[in-house]
Amino acid sequence: MDITQSIVHNDIMAIDFILSKASARIADTDSQASAETDAYLRVLAAGVSGVSALFILDKDGNLTNASVDAPTNKISFADRDYFKRAITSPDDKTFITGSILSRLLRSYQFYLSRPIFDWKRNRIGVAVASVSAESLSNHLSTVRQNQSLVLAVLTPDLRLIARAPTLERLYDVDLSSSPALKDLAFEDGGETVKRVSAISNSTAMHLVMIRGAARSNVIIAASTPMSA
């Protein structure tokens, strides 16, 4: 679990770093909707493995800049959780959401987002990183010790971010409805072991180890089959 936690933490911190760079550029130059900003976002996104897109939304949730080609017509992400949580945040906190089907990329992505403030501390937009769930799943696969082991990364509200082995249909499952998972207490560096079946979405009982990684704002779960 220590290796898995380190991998996930390092990945998220690298993404958070480029998000802070992107938001700082918008705040300092007020250069939204410019080709130069799009080019800058492409450079940032290319520097971190797994980042599919880096984009900027204005305070109303409309797309203004992106590291990838986007529709020329006005496109809004105001209904997305990653926008709503960041635009209402009173500080520079970074938010992470579970994997959903991307409107731009048509693949499962999870998102990190943070608000953009002007010099008067007014919220003027949101910087968002779209990250491939498959990429993180593949990264997790490199530390799986055996074929029966399931590794999962979840948000604090129990939305699935990535899983190894990959099982895309689980991204649409609301794991927060699992009483067993809801009963677990997550603390930074702490571990809880409990018999649950929600991580694998199977009727078989599993031994699941949960570790909270508060600095990365995620939960790591390792599940192995066990006899009833």
Return the DSSP state at 62.
B
On whether the CB atoms of residues 167 and 150 are closer than 8 A, the answer is no
Residue 80: per-residue pLDDT: 95
Q: Are residues 196 and 145 both part of a single domain?
A: yes
Q: What is the CATH number of the domain that holds 211?
A: 3.30.450.20
On whether the CB atoms of residues 83 and 57 are closer than 8 A, the answer is yes
Q: How far apart are CA 117 and CA 92, in angstroms?
A: 8
Dig out the tokens for 30 from the structure.
Answer: 């007020």
Residue 131: per-residue pLDDT: 94
Summarised one tens digit per residue, pLDDT across range 123-159 is 899 999 999 999 988 888 887 777 778 888 888 777 8
Confidence of residue 168 (pLDDT cuts 50, 70, 90): confident
Dig out the tokens for 218 from the structure.
Answer: 């995620």
Which helix H or strand E contains 7, and what residues bound it? helix 2-29
Q: Give the up-direction half-sphere exposure of residue 201: CA atoms within 13 A in the CB hemisphere.
A: 15
What is the pTM assigned to this prediction? 0.82
Angle between helix axes 133-141 and 2-29 (nearest 10 degrees) is 150
Dig out the tokens for 185 from the structure.
Answer: 């207490």
Confidence of residue 44 (pLDDT cuts 50, 70, 90): very high
Q: Are residues 99 and 117 both part of a single domain?
A: yes
Domain that holds residue 140: 135-225
Domain boundary among 132, 162, 196: 132
Domain boundary among 132, 154, 183: 132
